[in-house]
Amino acid sequence: MQTLLSAQRDAEEDRTMTAYDDQNIFAKILRDEIPSMRVYEDDDTLCFMDIMPRADGHCLVIPKTPCRNVLDASDAQLAAVMATVKKVANAAMAGLEADGITIQQFNEAPGGQEVFHLHFHILPRHEGVSLRAPGQMGDMEQIKAISEKISAAL
């Protein structure tokens, strides 16, 4: 009979054995195989606009190195990504005159993750304005104009 501890260990091994898929959409963005509206980039991270924004200024921060999510990210990947999240969130607050910021991050499919490359959502918020429903394409000209405001505040 399997003990709780051995079941947990087996589950952890299953999770860590899931290979990174280098054909995911964010890996393709990193290789410039798919276009993106880049807001900020450094040696370790990339921030680009979400094309299905739930809020004006909705952008994503990813590490440039492979990892599926927080569960398999290195401390260095997490530190680099969080530094960029903070930098861009502050720029979004200033550039868009936002009242607040929502940061979202999902891990594995049951946790809401859809793209299996570590990413953080930055959603600038304005008092009294609800998030839009997920999965709706945004207006590319509007997204571009908003991205320029965030970039200018960096």
Tell me the catalytic residues: 119
- Give residue for tokens 């600038």: 124
DSSP string, 103-154: EE---SGGGT--SSS--EEEEEE-TT-PPPPTT----HHHHHHHHHHHHHT-
